[in-house]
Amino acid sequence: MGTKIGVGLLGLGTVGAGVVKILRSPQGRHPLVQELELARVAVRDLGRPRPVTIPLDQLTTDPKAVVDDPAVQVVVEVIGGIEPARSLIMRAVAAGKSVVTANKAVIARHGEEITAAAATAGVYVLTEAAVGGGIPIIEPLKQFLGANRIQRVSGIINATTNYILSRMAQDEIAYDAVLEEAQAYGYAELDPSADVNGLDAADKIAILAGLAFGGSIDRASVSTVGISNLQRCDVDYAGRLGYNIKLLSTAERTAQEPNLNMKISQPLAVYVCPTLIPKNHLLADVNGVNNAILVEGEPIGQLMFHGPGAGAGPTASAIVGDILNIASICRLHNNRLSYLPTVSNWQNCHLVQQEKIQQRNYIRIQTHHNHDVAERVSNILNNQGVPIQSVTRFDTANSNDGDTEIIIISHKVSRQQISTALRSIKALREVTCLAAHLNCL
């Protein structure tokens, strides 16, 4: 088939090592894997022990040397973070080289800039590994689902939090203990804040929203709530009421009909928050480090993508898949990349104000035992136009003074409406604490 396609690797951590292992064992894989050749690798420390051995003359501590190497046609960026990753991607694109990246933080914040530069240069920047690990979701949204009017994309797209919540539900373990366990197993970083505070999931849903709805998404405006304040009792109550709690990421149209006039900005609700999911829902039984993404549109209906959401194997699989995508078109057009299609915004989008987001609600109120409290709380909600689905009373654990917890599930209302009602509820003398407020499907 001619000269092999040189791959330059920026980063040789867990994922980078996974990519190397695939490239070095092409047997049984797509024949084009044999046409890929690891040309150069950038690392932080030449002397650090690694799970794969790379010849010293292929290693460098200067990532620019990898990008600029004439033997490199495709640059793979797996160093993470915003900088220098963004600058290196832009440098590769300017040099006429395609890029494959797993960097959701860069794509969520600078995707529009990078896409425009790639279109001008006639190269690809592929990002399948940035969302969902080994789950193929980026290319389906970019291409195969283009005939659909997408109404909603929602999913469980952070493996760390899904592992924590699964363990809390299945084995009745408290949050802090499960987090320590996840760190010991390598499912959570020593600093888990990006995962447990929902920031990683917000990066990913911003990327998916931009692809699904065809417009640039302001990452800074994505409403984000994590799981770090979630109480063990809420996981238990949710289970008893027929729900599982998941960190759910959602992007959805707020208008019933799509805007056909592209000069009109499409309003979207994009948010991340712990959510009660009915146990018969498609996403309810996605457990452990698995991820799942549910796409809803017309005429496709509901389509779910499910699989491992993290780890060296799944992420490396997605990265090499992107490299093969580039390599196949490169081979088809005699090593010319100018024929590659590029993704561009075809619609203006804006995020609605957070207080206008519509959602169902789970509310847990701690109160002194009083038969009138539930009725008074219900009256407040009704007066604020918050329709109630159910009210359930639970005795407080280890309580000898008759304290009670009231669990209210509401129908869908705006966040502004529910916030106003909750302020009045907290002011009731009998209410000792508004203990929890979660989203509910």
Active-site annotation, residues? 204
Residue 380: in which H helix or E strand, if any?
helix 373-383
**Token pair for residue 387?**
């329709």
Q: Across the strands, what pairs with 17? A: none
From start to end of 281-430, where are the E strands?
290-298, 301-308, 349-351, 358-367, 388-395, 404-414
Distance CA(422)–CA(228), nearest Å, equals 21
**Token pair for residue 88?**
């290196």
User: In one letter, which amino acid is 379?
Assistant: N
In SS3 terms, the chain reads as: CCCCEEEEEECCCHHHHHHHHHHCCCCCCCHHHHHEEEEEEECCCCCCCCCCCCCHHHEECCHHHHHHCCCCCEEEECCCCCCCHHHHHHHHHHCCCEEEECCHHHHHHHHHHHHHHHHHHCCCEECHHHCCCCCCCHHHHHHHCCCCEEEEEEEECCHHHHHHHHHHHHHCCCHHHHHHHHHHHCCCCCCCHHHHCCHHHHHHHHHHHHHHHCCCCCHHHCEECCCCCCCHHHHHHHHHCCEEEEEEEEEEECCCCCCCCCCCCEEEEEEEEEEEEECCCCCCCCCCCEEEEEEEEECCEEEEEEEECCCHHHHHHHHHHHHHHHHHHHHHCCCCCCCCCCCCCCCCEEECCHHHCEEEEEEEEEECCCCCHHHHHHHHHHHCCCCEEEEEEEECCCCCCCCEEEEEEEEEEEHHHHHHHHHHHHCCCCEEEEEEEEEEC
Phi, psi of 275 (to 5 degrees): -140, 135
